[in-house]
A and B are shown apart, each in its own frame.
With several copies, the nearest count.
Chain A
Amino acid sequence: MKLGVLIKDGPYMHQAMDSAYNFITAALEMGQEVEVFLYNDGVYNTCNFMDPPRDERHIANLLAELQTKGVRMVVCVAAGKRRGIVTNTVCSAGEISGLGQLLELCITSDRLVTF
């Protein structure tokens, strides 16, 4: 099954990305396919400059880990530009693209779940 995941909140501030990370990890272990779309403040999760304390989880690195496991992570270009998540600031796991990709995800996934 293909699961679409929509993330609308930024890192650390809200639990959304943490919940999504745990959900996606579980889904991958169960053999499901996952694709992520980052919208609204969700684009901040891909900021390449985040540098949390060493004993704290590094959310952009968690995204990189998901990417190595085959999860595509699309960053909304409009939401990203407005907030400063652009080519110069996005982490390697984030793929900047348009809102059409969110509709594509609605079409191609079996379920869309929002965090």
Chain B
Amino acid sequence: MEEQEKTKVMFLCRKAPYGTIFEQEAIEAMVMFGAYEQDISVTFMDDGVFSLKKGQDPSLLGKKNFSKTYMILKDDFEISHLYVEKESLEERGLTEDDLITEVEILDRGALRKKMDEMKAFIPF
């Protein structure tokens, strides 16, 4: 019963990393939200899937490699789900092997079903 009382919130990460601050500030929010014992999902679609690409090294830009945080979001920060849209990966020539951490790869139909369960969306 208690499970049902949790608020379901989904982050929609649709932007590429480094070109804008969206990924970085989205992660700041994810880390914070995780501490509140609600039911938080993070979905990567469109250019957001690039945020999960292995091998990022933004040191030449004077920036930090935020992608490593995704590896510990579920275990250390109690994010319930990390979803990636299958079609967005394919369109960008990426496969599961290119991703820095284990995620649930869903097609749009399955993802939309998850979205229908949400109370609120935080789009980036």
Q: Is the CB of B38 within 8 A of A57?
A: no
Q: Is the CB of A102 within 8 A of B64?
A: no
Which residues on the A side are within 8 Å of B18 (C-beta)? 15
B33 within 8 A of A: yes
B77 within 8 A of A: no
Which residues on the A side are within 8 Å of B123 (C-beta)? 114
Chain B residue nearest to A14 in the complex (CB): B20
B72 within 8 A of A: no
A92 within 8 A of B: no
Which residues on the A side are within 8 Å of B25 (C-beta)? 39-40, 78-79
The winner among B22, B25, B32, B64 for most chain A CB atoms within 10 A is B25
A13 within 8 A of B: yes
| CA gap between A29 and B78 in the complex, in Å | 40
Q: Is the CB of B120 within 8 A of A112?
A: yes
Q: Could you say which interface size class chain A belongs to? A: 20 to 34
Interface residues as binary, B7-24 with A (CB distance below 8 Å gives 1, 0 otherwise): 101000000001111100
Which residues on the A side are within 8 Å of B33 (C-beta)? 99-100, 102-103
| CA gap between A103 and B33 in the complex, in Å | 6
A84 within 8 A of B: no
Q: Could you say which interface size class chain B belongs to? A: 20 to 34
Which residues on the B side are within 8 Å of A13 (C-beta)? 20-21
Our pick among A6, A22, A107, A112 for the contact of B61 (Cβ within 8 Å) is A22
A98 within 8 A of B: yes
The winner among B61, B63, B120 for most chain A CB atoms within 10 A is B120
Our pick among B28, B32, B62 for the contact of A103 (Cβ within 8 Å) is B32
Interface residues as binary, B29-43 with A (CB distance below 8 Å gives 1, 0 otherwise): 100110110100000
Our pick among A79, A103, A111, A114 for the contact of B9 (Cβ within 8 Å) is A103
Q: Which residues of B contact A (CB under 8 A)?
A: 7, 9, 18-22, 25, 28-29, 32-33, 35-36, 38, 60-64, 119-123
Extra contacts besides A39-B25, A99-B28, A103-B32 (5): CB < 8 Å: A12-B21, A18-B61, A21-B62, A40-B22, A114-B122
Give the 6 A-B residue pairs with the shortest CB-CB distance, closest first.
A112-B120, A99-B32, A106-B120, A57-B62, A107-B7, A12-B21
